[in-house]
A and B are shown apart, each in its own frame.
Chain A
Amino acid sequence: MTLTDDPVIPLPAPRRGTGARGALISAGSVLLGLLVWQLLAARFGPALLASPLETLRAGIELARDGTLFDSVLASARRILIGWGLGLLVGVPVGLVMGRVQIIRTLLDPHIEFFRFIPPVAFVTLAVVWFGIGESSKVVLIFYTSVFIVTLNTVAGVLAVNESKLRAAVSLGAGRRQIMLYVVLPATVPHVVTGARLAMGNSFLTIVSAEIVAAQVGLGALIWTSRNYGRIDWVFVGIIVLGVLGFVFDRVLRIVARRVLRRYAVKL
């Protein structure tokens, strides 16, 4: 038997970029980025690179006629639905895989196979199978989310401390109760990590999902702008996509931290 470390009070997480000083540095960094962007735009000209100001102007133009708002809404909807379904399927599958060896052995080769095939490879098939409507895009987002969520959940289940499981059995909990009252709560931090990674992947996927036959959406905006030769609109699409992803991740982090605090979710 070795003695285990037994800290009385957990050390506070190191503060990163918080406080006034951090905010100032972040703002400075953003400004510097804009400056580099401006310099590059001045160097290569508007045919290749829209400057920040031109992008802003194009953004206002697209916002005025409602295109921008509709695009954001359409893409956000597809991402949220596809990602949500990915969680809804990935978490239970991951929990069961983590607890039942035979199911893990059965599903593992398939997950290991499909997780290396990027969603863009399935764009054509998705349209053929699910039509040109919303479902083909949502399916692609679901596809990109579900494996990440599943794998992270499995890792979480396998990392649950053995003495917690033994304690639960010894306190009289049945298999289902252990799953619900011990494994699931102990796995929450891993699930949240999986959810965040899946959200990032959903944003990577949305543009390819909207390549074919999407009328609206940020990806669709980028693709159609190319056809019109509107480099500045392409820039609007890219910038808004980045900002939207940032906002989604922030909201996810804040909600997870608030709601799931007791599950030791550290973000």
Chain B
Amino acid sequence: MAPETEVSVRPPGVRSGAAVRFEQVSIWFDDFQAVREVSLEVAPGELLCLLGPSGCGKSTLLSTLAGFLPTTSGSVTVDGRPVTAPGPELGMVFQSSEALFDWLPVRSNVTFGPRMRGVGRAERAAIADEYLGLVGLRHCADKMPDQLSGGMRQRVQIARVLANQPRVLLMDEPFGALDAQTRSVMQREMDRIRAATGCTVLFVTHDIGEAIVLADHIAVMTAGPAARIKSSYRVELPRPRDETSAEFVALQRALRRDIGDEVQAALRAQGLDPGEPDPGEPNPGEPGPS
């Protein structure tokens, strides 16, 4: 058997990632503005990291692209067509592996999308082999999700989404619940998965290191409410990325400063209104609420 790392999912020339465009997107929940006039562009096959403090509206933007949430104003388009509803073209990987179907073995989780489209049993078996191979889980096909580790479960989620040949992969802190070692393994795997599928990827994270390891583009968001894009960076470091290189560290410093400002702003806002709950994990080295 060929090593699993050599699996090529998409024959060359077949359609790959789509161009994603947010134009002046604002999102309101009743009288609360979550996102204000965000414009973003992601070229086909590129990976954009949305980086920002917890609760800033990153996931809200992603939900809009996934078709779960309408924009209040502005438009979200994939290859020029506005997103109106969720669908297999826009593959969503959730942070929690609660999103897996616990009553189905891994294999059937992966082929859920094809099954819904009426793909036959034999073809589904081939699909399961192919995509479980891609994420290195072919030996777990008949296991139940609760028999797998957290990292393996996220691989199943990725394989389940890829089995629909999505054009855009939406990842909402997919490795956020994993331990540091597993997270770093999964981050390295992303390069391989992207090379095999050609998907455009939107990746939400609040982890600066993760963003630099993965991204072609990083968009930093301001702390909500009414979050905007604060700054954006193009990352052109060679892959796999060396976390000790001078460029890596410099970028890390810049991002930390951007986000630090936002966390401080959030804490100041909180100081004015002490009734608010804790906004999340303050960065180490940042002053606490005064």
Residues of A within 8 A of B (CB): 1-6, 8-10, 161, 163-164, 166-174, 177, 181-182, 185-186, 188, 262-264
Given the interface contacts A1-B55, A1-B206, A166-B92, does A264 sit within 8 Å of B178 by beta carbon?
no
Cβ contacts under 8 Å, B68 to chain A: 166, 169-170
B residues in contact with A172, CB < 8 Å = 87-88, 113, 116-117, 164
Complex Cα distance, B145 from A10, in Å, reads 11
Which listed residue, B67, B103, B149, B177, touches A4 by the CB 8 Å rule? B177
Residue in contact with B178 in the complex, picked from A6, A166, A173, CB distance below 8 Å: A6
| A166 & B97 in contact (Cβ 8 Å cutoff) | no
Instruction: List chain A residues, Cβ under 8 A from B178.
Output: 6
Interface set, chain B 83-115, CB cutoff 8 A to A: 86-88, 90-92, 94-104, 112-113
Known: A3-B177, A6-B178, A185-B101. A168 touches B150 (CB 8 A): no
0/1 string, B171-191, CB within 8 A of A gives 1 = 001001110000000000000
The 8 A-B residue pairs with the shortest CB-CB distance, nearest first, are A163-B99, A6-B150, A171-B113, A172-B88, A170-B86, A167-B99, A6-B177, A161-B98
A262 touches B91 (CB 8 A): no
Smallest Cβ-Cβ distance to A2: which chain B residue: B280
Known: A173-B116, A262-B103. A166 touches B86 (CB 8 A): yes
Which chain A residue has the least Cβ–Cβ distance from B85? A169
Residue of B nearest to A171 (CB): B113
| Chain A CB within 8 A of B54 CB | yes
Question: In the complex, what's the smallest C-beta–C-beta distance from B115 to chain A, in angstroms?
Answer: 8
Number of interface residues of B (CB under 8 A): 43
B160 in contact (CB, < 8 A): yes
Q: Does B66 contact A (CB under 8 A)?
A: yes
B18 to chain A, nearest CB (A): 15
Sampled A-B contacts (26; CB under 8 Å): A1-B54, A1-B176, A4-B98, A8-B148, A9-B147, A10-B146, A161-B96, A163-B98, A164-B98, A166-B94, A167-B94, A167-B100, A167-B160, A168-B112, A170-B66, A170-B92, A171-B88, A171-B116, A171-B160, A171-B161, A172-B116, A172-B164, A173-B112, A181-B112, A188-B103, A263-B103
- Interface assignment of B59: CB less than 8 Å from any CB of chain A: yes
Report the minimal beta-carbon distance from A232 to chain B, rounded to whole angstroms: 50
Chain A residues near B160 (CB, 8 Å)?
Answer: 167, 171
Which residues of B lie under 8 Å from residue A2 when comparing CB positions? 54, 280
Contacts of A5 in B (CB 8 A): 177
CB atoms of B101 and A182 under 8 A apart? yes
On chain A, the residues within 8 Å of B149 by CB distance are 8
Docked pose: A9 CA to B147 CA in angstroms? 6
Closest to B113 in A: A171
Beta-carbon contact of B97 and A164 below 8 Å: no
Asked if B196 lies at the interface with its beta carbon under 8 angstroms from chain A, I say: no
Task: State which residues 186-217 of B face A: CB under 8 Å.
Answer: 206
Q: Is the CB of A6 within 8 A of B101?
A: no
User: If the complex has contacts A1-B206, A1-B280, A8-B149, are A170 and B90 also in contact, measured as CB distance less than 8 A?
Assistant: yes
Shortest CB-to-CB span from B179 to chain A, Å, is: 9
Q: Is the CB of A177 within 8 A of B116?
A: yes
Asked if B116 contacts A161 (CB within 8 A), the reply is no
A166 cross-chain contacts in B, Cβ below 8 A: 66, 68, 86, 92, 94, 99
Residues of A within 8 A of B176 (CB): 1, 3
Q: A163-B94, A167-B94, A170-B90 are in contact. Are A1 and B116 (CB under 8 A)?
A: no
Task: Please measure, in the bound complex, the distance between the C-alpha atom of A185 and the C-alpha atom of B90, giving whole angstroms.
Answer: 25
Supply 12 further A-B pairs (C-beta < 8 A) apart from A1-B59, A164-B101, A170-B68. A4-B177, A5-B177, A6-B97, A8-B149, A8-B150, A163-B96, A167-B99, A169-B86, A172-B164, A181-B116, A185-B101, A262-B103
Task: Report how far A166 CA is from B170 CA in the complex, Å.
Answer: 13
Q: Is the CB of B150 within 8 A of A170?
A: no
Residues of chain A with a CB closer than 8 A to B251's CB? none
A173 to B112, CA, bound (A): 9
Given the complex of chains A and B, what is the CA–CA distance between A175 and B253 in angstroms? 48
Q: A-facing mask of B36-79, CB < 8 A → 1, else 0?
A: 00000000000000000011000100000011100000000000
With A1-B95, A1-B206 in contact, do A171 and B164 touch (Cβ < 8 Å)? Answer: yes
Instruction: Kindly state the separation between the CA atoms of A173 and B153 in the bound complex, as whole angstroms.
Output: 21
Question: B88, A170: Cβ atoms under 8 Å?
Answer: yes
Q: How far is the CA of A135 from the CA of B67 in the complex (A)?
A: 51
Contacts of A164 in B (CB 8 A): 98-101
Output the least CB separation between B161 and chain A (Å). Answer: 8
Greatest chain A CB density within 10 A among B94, B147, B178 is at B94
User: Which one of A8, A161, A185 has the highest number of Cβ atoms from chain B below 10 Å of its Cβ?
Assistant: A8
Contact with A along B253-285 (1 / 0, CB 8 A): 000000000000000000000000000100000
